[in-house]
Structure 1
């Protein structure tokens, strides 16, 4: 069985659309602009969804320790 490094997979998705689910229930969708070795992410053209509310932002920094799931599109 082949082992895949999740962080390297995320690095390959730079400049592509991703959806980030946070531990607090928020969901962010945007273009993955930057990622570091701690899985801190910078998204561009970001849309936040929390409960039934939606907000649009330009650039958002997401701390890696708050991330529950990364959905690559």
Structure 2
């Protein structure tokens, strides 16, 4: 059995005020990314510096700055905190690792070194085969 404990959403939403969040609407794949300014007792949301993110069926996304918006509570499918660290990690993972000035190649092997190692290994294999 799982130990599921329900959480009151009001304190959760209040903890997100002033932070970047993502709100997904029920009706389509539209999401809004912005800073949560305020909520009310009905859980209506006010966002500032908001980007509208529209995903098409063809796996393309369109992101457009729309500024300050108000989202009525009955349109919301989910709300989550947007962590910029995740976005930065995705960008740094795609960058190639470059050598620094001290000839430290961060664990990468030069192709020349790799070829020399293969030659030594191949010579040893040939000597073993001759015996």
> Under a length normalisation based on structure 1, what TM-score does the superposition of the two structures give?
0.89
Whole-Å separation in 1 of the counterparts to 2:53 and 2:6:
33
- Partners of 2:78 and 2:10 lie apart in 1 by 12
Hey, what does 1:12 align to over in structure 2?
A: 15
Cα offset for 1:68?
0.1
Match of 1:64 in 2: 73
Structure holding more strand per residue? 1
Flag structure 2 segments of 5+ consecutive residues without an equivalent.
Answer: 56-60, 83-131
Task: Give the number of aligned pairs.
Answer: 73
C-alpha RMSD over aligned residues: 1.4
Q: Which has the higher contact order (CA 8 A, sep 6+)?
A: 1
Task: Note the C-alpha offset of 1:4.
Answer: 2.2
Unaligned runs of at least 5 residues, structure 1: none
CA deviation string 1:8-45 (max 9, x = no partner): 11011100000000012210000000101111100000
**Higher alpha-carbon Rg:** 2
Shift of 1:47: 0.4
Q: Which has the higher helix share?
A: 2
TM-score (norm 2): 0.52
